[in-house]
Amino acid sequence: MQRTHSGRPARIRPAIAIILALLLAAVCASTLSVARASASAPSGAVTVRVEGPKGTLIPATGVLLSDGTVVKDGVATDSCSELSAAGALELATRGDWGGTWSSSFSAYFLTTIDGLSYPSTGAEYWAFWVNDAPSAQGICSYDPKPGDSLLFYPDCFGKTCPKSAGVLGVKAPATAVVGRSFAVSVTEYSDAKGTPSKAVGATVSGGGAMAKTAANGRATLSFTRPGRFTLKVHARHAVRTETTVCVAAAGTKTCG
């Protein structure tokens, strides 16, 4: 399986890959509202998530964008719109990302998020996806719409790259009842168009419950206690995902 970078196959010439990577990043510094995934994202929010090679760096985080220009390196001309995906990244990470400005592309080559760095000379880089598909635009040029879901994760190009099963997606009910089973659907997105396929054998766990997806990509779980739980989804060679479920005791409407 080939991962994609900005909507193109990952196995491309290094020079092209570097050019595409330059288009992926941008500048930001903002002080707008941020809502973590543990609470409902505000109306009109854009959701940002950052995955690392061993786990989540930034959980799904709702951010509200506003008009303006942002600068990352202190040079006023090295700027982009706060309404861009880079503005969303700046808010979600609270500024904890870095890159190198390219005058040719008026963008940053994104090298670091949350302390995890991938230099431009290596095979690995920070991929940028929008709504379960690789973005065809860089984060400085893409302006997210309310409700968009942005994902950043380490991808790789070249013959030495490990096998990949793509990016996982999950659908689960927002609420559940203690002692009652419910189904979770897990999909894999592994091409440039974001076409979903059923994820077989993925592990879904959280709140003391655990199950694996069957041939139909569905797993059945139940909880023994109320609460708001994070369901974490893992599969071999795939980028993980997660979602939250409010589990209420029978006869109530609260999460405990």
- pLDDT tens profile 137-193: 888 889 999 999 999 999 988 888 888 878 999 999 999 999 999 999 999 998 777
Instruction: Write down the pLDDT at residue 54.
Output: 86
Instruction: Write down the pLDDT at residue 154.
Output: 93
Instruction: Write down the pLDDT at residue 37.
Output: 41
32 vs 51, higher pLDDT = 51
Question: Beta partners for 247?
Answer: 176, 227
**Alpha-carbon gap, residue 100 to 145, rounded angstroms:** 26
Contact 46, 62 (CB under 8 A): yes
**Alpha-carbon gap, residue 155 to 118, rounded angstroms:** 10
The fraction of the chain above a pLDDT of 70, given in percent, is: 83
14: confidence class by pLDDT, cuts 50, 70, 90: very low
**Alpha-carbon gap, residue 246 to 256, rounded angstroms:** 9
How much is the average pLDDT of 82-100? 90
How much is the average pLDDT of 13-30? 38
Contact 213, 199 (CB under 8 A): yes
**Alpha-carbon gap, residue 159 to 53, rounded angstroms:** 19
13: confidence class by pLDDT, cuts 50, 70, 90: very low
Helical (H) or strand (E) element with 60: strand 56-63
Q: To which residue do tokens 């409902």 refer?
A: 40
194-229 pLDDT, tens per residue?
788 999 999 999 999 999 999 999 999 999 999 999
The DSSP code for 32 is -
41: confidence class by pLDDT, cuts 50, 70, 90: low
Task: Provide the mean pLDDT of the chain.
Answer: 82
Lowest-pLDDT range, 34-43, 76-85, 127-136, 207-216?
Answer: 34-43
52-61 pLDDT, tens per residue?
988 899 999 9
**Alpha-carbon gap, residue 102 to 30, rounded angstroms:** 21
